[in-house]
Every structure is written in structure tokens, then in C-alpha cells.
Structure 1
Amino acid sequence: MAKDIGIDLGTANVLINIKGEGIVLNEPSVVAVNTSNNEVVAVGTEAYEMVGRTPGNIQVIRPLEDGVISDFKTTESMLTYFIDKLKVRSKFSKPNIMICCPADVTSVEQRAIIEAAEKAGGKQVYLELEPKVAAVGAGMDIFKPQGNLVIDIGGGTSDIAVLSMGSVVSSNSLRLAGDKMNSDIQFYVKQKHNLMIGERTAETIKKQVGSAFEPDASVVIPISGRDLMTGLPREVSINEVEAEEALHESLQAIIEATKGVLEVTPPELAADIIDRGVMLTGGGSLLKGMDKLFARELQIPVLLAEDPLDSVALGTGILLEHINKK
């Protein structure tokens, strides 16, 4: 028999949860293609190693942008590769697939996600909203008549949602998250240090000295890039204060969007949120001091999920158990 699977189809990473087995795959959402014959050269981790390091005939593609499919054919190839790798199909049956999408996804984008999953080998494809699945994966009981606020900061989107009785009451989805933070850092380093750095270097800066609250100037890392004046390689140092400065605007945009969601939340549910607090999930929530920044700005308790990177994938595993009741 085929095994049912849950897919967190993220802009940065794809995570796959097999029903009853847990998360079995976590690889970058990247595909390397040979442009001369349109053949897929590498997928996932292997393709990510090639970012910024390929010859002219090899193009490294991120087939998802802002949480939705921007390159349908490449997304289909990527999903097919991962599903085949896990051997979840049998000769006689295909797996049911639960797949997640941003809160403000359009019907056209929904159709594209379902079609890609079906062509990659899914039998019945179920779509669920990312903040709802993330909340379940983070351990929140969203099925009772009480307010729960979750902020899921992923690679391409930041999803903010108030949930009650298993449904979204009010929400907002910003096409601004981890990837935008990386480009913020790239722009800052270019402006301040006259240095061009790659996407992977920006990601390293974010992970190692990225800070959202009370940055420490003594925490420093060396980075290398191309000097814009001489065109030659050069090394500079970046500290937490600079990283916080680079990320400040994007973080404030997520906070303002959260305030906007709270403003349209019914009073009874808002009162529940004050008691229960806010749940932060997604890779972006791992930025140092993120929970403290949100707690100060929103004036309500903020909790960081136990496993923020895996919350959505864990949530699909829990919801797959009830897939036949849908």
C-alpha cells in the first residue's frame, strides 16, 4: 500500500512527513537545470551546494517564490524526485498528499499546487493553510472555541492568523520573510561596506549574528565578497548591531501586520490571546531575540515553538491522522 504523506512546500525548504513515521526528508527547494537540454542535473541539497558556483549552462532555480509556485514544471520535477526518493508509491496505489499553502493564496495558485502534487504522483491532494498547520505542529489546540494567534515566519512568506474551532478567523500573509531578510543584509553590506556578497553569505550572517532585540556589538563574524570599487575579493567584519540595523525595517513590517490582524479580531478571542500568548514558528522566528521584540511591541506574552523549523511538517503528520474524517 502507498503511504500517505504531508508536504511543507516551503520557499526555502521542502519537508516531507510520512504518516506514522514522522519527518523523513528536509531539503532545500532548489533545482539545478542544464539549459542546453533542459535536463535536471541536481535537486535539493546537491543543487543548493551549486548556488552561485555554476558554469553558464547550469542554472540553479528556486521554483517557489513567496510561498507559491513560480515555475510549475520545475516544481513538479522537484516533488517527483523527492516522492520517488522516499518510495512511498507502490505499483498499485498512490499516496494521499496533504500540502500547505500561505494564508492569502489565490484559487489559481491553489490549483497550481494541487496539480503539481497530482502530477508528482499524489492520489487525493488536500490543501491546508500554513498558519493552521504550523499552530497544530507547535502543540496549540486550535479546535476549541478559544482564540489562538500564530505567526509563522518562513522563507518566502510570514503568515499571521487568529484561529478558533479549527478555522482561521482573521489573517494576513506578507510576501516578506527569511529570503527578504537575506536580501536586506546583502543591500546593507553593499551600501555600508561597498561589498557585493552572495545569497549564501547573507544567510550565514543572518544565522550567526542576526539579531532582532538588544544586539551585542561584541559578537562579530568575518565575511568575504567582491569589492565594488576594485572588483577584487575583500574581507570585512559584521556584528550583531549592523545585522539588526539591516533587518529592522522588515521586522517592523511583520509587527505592524500582526497589529492589523489583532485590530480586526473579535474582542472575546483577543482576550483569549492575552491569556494564552502568541506562538512564533518558522525558521525566521529563530532570529536572536525575536520573541522579546514581539512581546515588547505587542504587549502580550510571546512563545517560541519547540521546533520552529519543523512545525508545519509536524502539523501535517497530526492532521494526516484525521485525513479520512475531512
Structure 2
Amino acid sequence: MKKRGVSVARIIGVDLGTSNTYIYRKGRGIIVREPSVIAIDEEKSKVTALGQAAYSMLGKEPAGIKATRPIRDGVIAEFDVTVAMLHGFFVKAAGKGSLNRPNVILAVSNSITEVEKRALEEAANEAGARSVAIIPSPFAAALGAGLPIEEPRGSMIVNIGGGTTDVAVMSLGGIIQCNSVRVGGDEIDEAIASYLKRKYNLIISLTDAEELKRRMGTISPTAEEITEEVYGRDAVSGLPAAVKIKNTELKEPITEQLAKITECIRNTLEKLHPELSADIHDYGMTLSGGGALLDGISEYYSKKFGFEVKTAQNPLDCCVEGIKKVIELFPEAVSFNSK
């Protein structure tokens, strides 16, 4: 059943990402900003840690405890675990105030199927939502980045998340062209880990690969060369090992994954009408999401496509900031599905 006109005070905005979850509540701002990770005691079926606390346990869990990311490639991989994680985040969002069974606006990737979308709605309902509304992540990200999407000109956003990248061109308040690829920060982490194993016989966890990417990842041609010792396990002997690597080495595995995003951007541009193509050439495109924090990425894509590419001011918050604008400015435009 679809309904409109729900109380704004009871609406929360949720950016449920593969890597991180953000929740906005009117009057209190962004009140949840946590990794999308949960730890569960498998014998007791009890949540032992959530968010950052669970993230710090990845790969280090004691016997009987499982720390996991239940969202993969922007969709639910473990339904019951996702419900438990969302419920925990909803409880945190409620705080000491009364927010029993909130109405939830959920931003999701354009790449997901109707079946995957319904699974997300059902998970939110079972986690405690009274009703759920779905909006496209690139639309929310563009709003949050401050792009003038309501104007009669093309605005382009590339939202690089943990598991998916959404590329969209908008005009007059709607999405004109959109493409998605299930490549994001997680695939870059996997590529870095694979590179170290292939070149140095060093096995590191994906969590360590992610931290390495944050500290040393760059595709800037002018980046100062730095060297760091990386610790892991020798693939041959099985013993603890360490190797020294340069940040410039990481360009190879990173650009392998960025090539897939490049193709997605190119496919989107090739489908535009000439008028919109001219707008994008004049006004450029904006990068959002965690992937936009990669050193040198805006210059990389500007060189690839020959027009200005800029990174949003707070790329991690763009999507949830966009949901915030929907809640505050035009909540009546959102259609909620009740359980």
C-alpha cells in the first residue's frame, strides 16, 4: 500500500551502503555514521557489536563470533543479518527520544533489480520501519552535492560507493540518463590485495587493503613517492611477513578497476542528446561517495574526458545530505510503501 503525507518528524533518511551506513533525523542531523558491519554470536544468535566496533573485529573474531558485511554490491547478501544491523542502527537513531517505528526514506543504487529493491524494503520493515520510500542514490547524491538539478541544463554526478558506482545526468528535477556498474571501493581493495599476493607472495586482509588504500592510494601523476612497510602472511611459508612498497605501485591495481567506471561514464555520455552533452562539457561532472576521496581521481577523469571534473565538498555525506533535503524541502513528493 502506498501512502503520502506522513509526519516529517517521524521520517529518517538512510543511506545504506556496502561500506557505510548514514542516518539523518530532522532536528538532530546525521546521527548514525557507521561502517555497515555487524558481529553476531552464532550460538546465541545475539548481536555483540555494531558499526565501528564490529568493523574493528573483522578477521580477528574469537570462536563463535562472526563479523560480517551483510550488504554487498549495494544489495542484501544476508537478509536476517541485514535486518539485525538495521534494527541496531534504528535504535541508535531513536536515541532517548521517542521514535517508535519511523518512516524511512532509503537511497539505493540504480543498478538494483525490483526483487533486490523489495528485499531492502522488507528488511527495513522487519527492522522496525513503519513504512519505506525508495529514492535513487545518484539523485540524492546530486542534491547533497549541491548540483542545480532542477534547472533546464544537464548536471552530472558519479557516485562511487563501496560496492557500486552510479553515473547519472539530471535536468529539470529528473534523471535523464543513468548507468551503474558493480564496481567501487571494495573491488579496489580486492585488486590491491591480489596485486600484493601476485607480486610479493604477501597475503593481507581486505580490511588491511582498505586501510592501505586510504593511506597510500593515489593515481596522481604528481604525487610524492612514499614507501611503507606492509605486514601480512607469506603465501608460500605461511609465516608472518613484511614487504616495502611504494605508493606509486598501487596505481596499477587501482586503475584496473577505475577503467570499468570509465567505461560506465563513457556509455552514459554517448547516450546523451547533443544539448546535454554541451552542458556537461561546459559545466563538468561531480564525484561523490567514498571513491571520490582517492588522491588524484578528479584530475584522472578530467584528463580522460577533456572537461572539468570536481570532487564534492563532503563526498561521503552527499547521499544522506540529499535525503535530508528531500525530508526538509519536499517530503510530500515521496511515496511510502507500508508493510
- Contact 1:194 1:228 (8 Å CA) reproduced: yes
CA deviation profile, 1:206-242 (whole Å, cap 9, x unmatched): 1111112316462122210001122111111221211
Counterpart CA distance in 2 for 1:59 and 1:215 is 42
For residue 249 of structure 1, the aligned residue among 245, 256, 259 is: 256
The AA in structure 1 aligned to 2:255 is H
> C-alpha displacement at 1:325, in angstroms?
3.4
The AA in structure 2 aligned to 1:235 is A
CA deviation profile, 1:130-165 (whole Å, cap 9, x unmatched): 111001000112122211110000101011111112
Question: What is the match of residue 177 of structure 1?
Answer: 184
- Contact 2:25 2:93 (8 Å CA) reproduced: no
- The answer on 1:199 being equivalent to 2:198 is no
Question: What is the match of residue 102 of structure 1?
Answer: 109
Counterpart CA distance in 2 for 1:249 and 1:325 is 40
The AA in structure 2 aligned to 1:323 is P
Counterpart CA distance in 2 for 1:103 and 1:92 is 29
Q: Kindly report which structure 2 residues correspond to 1:48-59, keeping only aligned pairs within 5 A, or say none.
A: 48-59=55-66
Question: What is the match of residue 42 of structure 1?
Answer: 49
Question: What is the match of residue 155 of structure 1?
Answer: 162
Counterpart CA distance in 2 for 1:72 and 1:89 is 28
> C-alpha displacement at 1:185, in angstroms?
0.3
CA RMSD of aligned residues (A): 1.7
CA deviation profile, 1:179-220 (whole Å, cap 9, x unmatched): 000000000000011100011210121111111231646212
Taking a change above 3 Å as real, the CA distance of residues 317 and 289 of structure 1, as seen in their structure-2 partners, is: same
- Contact 2:10 2:99 (8 Å CA) reproduced: no
CA deviation profile, 1:280-324 (whole Å, cap 9, x unmatched): 001111111000000000111101100001110111101112112
- Contact 2:214 2:294 (8 Å CA) reproduced: yes
- The answer on 1:287 being equivalent to 2:294 is yes
Counterpart CA distance in 2 for 1:119 and 1:215 is 50
The worse-fitting range, judged by mean Cα deviation, of 271-280 and 215-224 is 215-224
Question: What is the match of residue 89 of structure 2?
Answer: 82
SS at match of 1:52: coil
**Runs (5+) with no aligned partner, structure 1:** none
Q: Kindly report which structure 2 residues correspond to 1:1-326, keeping only aligned pairs within 5 A, or say none.
A: 3-87=10-94, 94-214=101-221, 216=223, 218-321=225-328, 322-326=330-334
SS at match of 2:102: coil
Question: What is the match of residue 3 of structure 2?
Answer: none
Counterpart CA distance in 1 for 2:290 and 2:99 is 37
Counterpart CA distance in 1 for 2:223 and 2:147 is 33
SS at match of 1:141: coil
Counterpart CA distance in 1 for 2:59 and 2:101 is 37
Counterpart CA distance in 2 for 1:129 and 1:39 is 33
SS at match of 2:176: strand
Taking a change above 3 Å as real, the CA distance of residues 31 and 93 of structure 1, as seen in their structure-2 partners, is: closer
Counterpart CA distance in 1 for 2:13 and 2:198 is 42
> C-alpha displacement at 1:172, in angstroms?
1.2
Counterpart CA distance in 2 for 1:123 and 1:93 is 9
Q: Percent identity?
A: 38
